[in-house]
Structure 1
Amino acid sequence: MEKSVTETVDCGIMSVEDVYRLAREFLKAKEGTKALNLSYEDRNMINVLSKQAFYGKFDETKIKVGFLDLVGKDRVQLWKSLSNLTREEAMNRYIQLINKVCPLFYAHLEAHKRNLEDEKNRLKLKEEEQHREKEMMEQKEKKLKEEDLKLMEENKKKREEIQRKQIQEALNQQTYPHFKAYAEQQHPNNPQAQEELIKQLQEQHFEQYMSQVYQQQLIHQQQQAEQLRALKKSQKKQEQQTEEELKKLSINETAPSVNHES
């Protein structure tokens, strides 16, 4: 479909400057071929619009015109008449003119826009895929960390359980003679009742022992926390004192000396 010179060309996702640059490249590639047959007026307009887009208002130093240079004189007058066009307006007029004089440019532009759209969509899909992969990787890492923490916790519980059993076995060996003697007094001639009582007493003794151990650990942790707080407080106080001394030193160094004349 051919567009008229007065109709604005749809730039799509391209900027006017990008389409203008594409039009210049297209003109250079097609110039001298059958696809492009420019009239005298069109050639002059293309030349002048290029200068207006590049230099802005008419500048006689940018165009050399000889005494018999009729083409140059026509272009000077044309440039003067278009001198109020903004850079973007000049580029738009240039694009519209190329589109008018060579309908193939419209197809070339549309193909170029489609390529850009395809590339944009490709990059978007790539970014989305990378985002999905990143999320999957983060979820995988999170799951691995959770599994590691769970495994560490399970191993910790196993170690604690082994330690508890070792402590309990050691305590049972120590207390067995004493508890056995007591059980025999409580249940003479009844081995089953004696064993049950021994087991009950050993469990009570173990729980009391572990309670004391946990209490001592808690006290030790509290003492460590208090020592750490005291250390931080001391360091902060020392830093404040050092800062105050530096301020005093700075004031003394910057204070002007006073000479007293007798």
Structure 2
Amino acid sequence: MANKVENNYKVNPEKVRLETDQGIAESEERKWGLPLKDVYKHGLAFYKDKEGKALHLSYEDRLKLVAYTQQTSHGPLDVNSAPPLGVLDVIGRDRRAAWQALGQISQIQAMAGFIHTLDRLCPLFKPYLEAIQKDLEDKKQQELKKEEEERANLELQNRIMLEKQKQQSTKITEEQQVQRIKDALNAQTYEQFLQYAQLQYPGNFDQQAILIRQLQDKHYQQYIQQLAVDQRLANSNIKDAADDKENDNANDKEKEVKDEPVTVTDCNLNETGDVPSTDSKSMQTTEKTETNEYIEEPRVDENTDDEEGFLSVEAVRMWTRGDIVKFKSSAQEGGGRLTVGHGETITVRVPTHPRARCLCWEFATDNYDIGFGLYFEWSKSPTTEVTVHVAESDEEEEEEDEEEYPIPDGTFHEYTIHGTRVDPERGCRRERPAAGTARPLTSLVVPVYRRDCHTEVYAGSHTYPGEGVYLLKFDNTYSLWRSKTLYYKVYYTQ
């Protein structure tokens, strides 16, 4: 026996002997997959629940299991300290005898003995324990899943908090930038606004401060909107330049035009002279005013075919601004004031200029709205001078009475565009020539709609689609009794 123990020791000197409590506990845990104490606890509960029902044991087996439980709970039996038994307590004597027969085994050994005996006597114990083990694993998995969800929620909350902090920081930075812009603008305009406020409310400092604050806020909004308009115009110019590079002849012509000073022409006045700027800003007033820009898509006359050589018409850029009183005064001084009678249509014919690339216009009225539309006539005009025509519509295309209005440069119309009876509220589709007459092809750029130009100045610009004549129509045919006073300006710009 000694040799056998010695040989085992040489094979694995670090192995814990099974006779020790630690070795027994580790062996049982490997076998059942649970700690020994947990297996004993579940085994004892199984025995108490199933004994007499699914479990039927002999008297000797029950004595042995009870002895193991007593040894586990109280240790080895001490006869001197044990309470005395009755004379007729036969079961008590048998139990003490079985307990005393276990001798000095430890609690670990008693628990292992109870489990082995129960497993040997009841085949249902092992599946029962496996079910408990699986249930514990499921609970553990659920706990792990719950911990992962809580960790994910915590990470999400932290991410949301960081994003909110970042947005708050960005908002603070934007607010600081806005405040710096406002401070710079206020520093430039404070004296001007102060003088204006003193004229409006002399001696009333509170009202002056309120008015100055309102003017400063409005000036900031106008500045931001003007930047947006300038950016759109710059992008449009870049796109036009890229298109021009595709044609060599257009490239050469562009270089020749850029070598010469550009003449900006106010069609209400005479030529203003040579200016070095070519940035399409001559259509804007010297003061930055509040603008609301929008784009109206053109519609081409169905008679215009690609085989005729006509190019497509680009969209129109249109906006409004609020300095209507100053605009009316400036337009009237330049001769841009007309009266559109009730039931009449005024057509302003503006030929394209050979040294310009864009047409710009502004208009306003007194007290009431008016219809406005824009057409492009694909015809070569022998002159670049602007003419104004008045036409009155009658029933069944009767011949109209026409009037000619000279403009300040002394020119008169050479070609009359007749009015129509189309309601400006529904818009106008296209120009229809009179029967039996050869009329140039016309593209609809902006449909005729009623514009609230009595409340703000309407302005717009359009890039030349080619050589021809622009027709600016101011339609008052829907008004049966009321005439309209029109103020307008027309510009050429590159």
Band of TM-score, shorter chain: 0.5 to 0.7
Q: Residue deviations 1:68-110, cap 9 Å, x none?
A: 5454334323323424222222222212211111110111110
- Report the alpha carbon displacement of residue 146 of structure 1 after superposing the two structures with TM: 0.5
Q: TM-score, normalised by structure 2?
A: 0.31
In the alignment, which residue of structure 2 is the partner of 1:59? 78
* 1:130–1:138 distance in 2 versus 1, CA, 3 Å: same
Superposed, which structure 2 residues align to 1:195-210 within 5 Å? none
Bigger helix fraction: 1
Q: What does residue 66 of structure 2 align with?
A: 47
In the comparison of the two structures, how many residue pairs are matched? 168
Read off the aligned partner of 1:18 and give its amino acid letter: D
Identity percentage of aligned residues: 29
Give the Cα–Cα distance (whole angstroms) in 1 for the partners of residues 187 and 114 of structure 2: 94
Contact preservation (8 Å) 1:63, 1:76: no
- 1:144 pairs with one of 160, 164, 183: 164
Higher-Rg member (1/2): 2
Aligned AA for 2:65?
I
State the distance in 2 between where 1:24 and 1:125 align. Answer: 32
Structure 1 pair 165/64, CA: closer, same or farther in 2 (3 Å)? farther
After alignment, is 55-64 or 85-94 more displaced?
55-64
Task: Quote how far apart the aligned CAs of 1:54 are.
Answer: 0.9
Q: Per the alignment, do residues 28 and 63 of structure 1 end up closer, same or farther by CA in structure 2, a change over 3 Å counting?
A: farther
1:139-178 paired onto structure 2 within 5 Å: 139-170=159-190
Tell me how far apart the structure 2 counterparts of residues 25 and 31 of structure 1 sit (CA, whole Å).
10
Alignment match, 1:73: 93
Contact 2:28 2:36 in 1 (8 A): no
Of structures 1 and 2, the one with the larger relative CO (CA 8 A, separation 6+) is 1
Q: Name 1:24's counterpart in structure 2.
A: 44
Q: Report what 1:36 is aligned to.
A: 55
Q: Is the 8 Å Cα contact of residues 28 and 35 (structure 2) preserved in structure 1?
A: no
Q: Provide Cα deviations, 1:15-44, integer angstroms capped at 9, x if missing partner.
A: 3222222112211121112x3221232111
Identify if the C-alpha distance between structure 1 residues 169 and 43 changes in structure 2 by more than 3 Å, giving closer, same or farther.
same
Distance 1:148 1:120 in 2: 41
Where do 5+ consecutive residues of structure 1 fail to align?
1-5, 175-191, 193-262
In structure 2, the gaps of 5 or more residues are 1-23, 195-274, 276-494
Aligned letter for 1:23?
G
Moved more, 148-157 or 39-48: 39-48
Give yes or no for contact 2:71–2:107 (8 Å, CA) kept in 1: yes
When you count strand as a share of all residues, which structure comes out higher?
Answer: 2
Cα RMSD between the aligned structures?
A: 2.8
**Distance in 2 between the 1:49 and 1:63 partners?**
19
Question: Could you say which residue in structure 2 is the equivalent of 1:233?
Answer: none
Q: 1:110 aligns with which of 100, 109, 130?
A: 130
Query: 1:173, 1:44 → 2: CA distance?
Result: 110
